[in-house]
A and B are shown apart, each in its own frame.
Chain A
């Protein structure tokens, strides 16, 4: 590795660090599941199993007090399934066009006044 390699690596790491707040400014409270046919929202901690029809197959999402996870998907890669439980963040099944956003698990909040 020469100094130009090191400069490139440093530049990329600085870029990633600068963009970090964007990834941290995640979401509102609650869970949002969006797919090609629309979007559904509900409070965090609600237990249930949701079947979303994606572009190439059905995506099964299970939610509960512990978070949300994709338990089955018709996509070939299935990295969305391997992501596991997400307590705060996003699970995306890009081939199916399905996005699950979990904005936190603070179940004691019923509403937010602005």
Chain B
């Protein structure tokens, strides 16, 4: 199986205007991600995990090294790498349906096809009945569902998610995590998921990559071999889940 994403010795240094100094956010990250895998990158605040995701998305440029997706070097943002943001980033002036339809519309798909896609993804994320609501009329959890649907409806090669559930309450978060695993397994989506929550990463992923504190370097790269579909009530008593969680906790925090 060929790798969908290849990062080769990627470093990112940026100038911190507050500290008035150069900050090394990422230091020589090399990794590959296979297609149809759900991969999480975890690490403490400031380890550069979100920076890495933005480099993959093409929203920022690496200082050194390069990233390729499907064999093409990333030079800017593109529809093949759809991103879900922590703050939803839905367009406030578009309804749920219009937000979800946005990507297909940019691609110039005919109206009938767009409507079919929109209908399918509205239903997939459980937003039927809310198609004509504006984002400000939706709850946080519903907004994030809409944001996920918007990206999936655009049929990206990779789904990039930057701590997408950090802003929703704990109960909603567990629902959304279960839905996400079901949807991405069903759609066979390749996902690169950023989080600081170890349990979330283990629950969702086929593979978890842990970064050290700044500058970010890979300290663990763990395959998560747990059966799917995954549900929180089953995980609570699963010894393997606990073992993965503890091992990653040790890698990130337990060096001393």
Answer whether A and B are interacting partners.
no
Which B residues have a C-beta under 8 Å from some C-beta of A? none
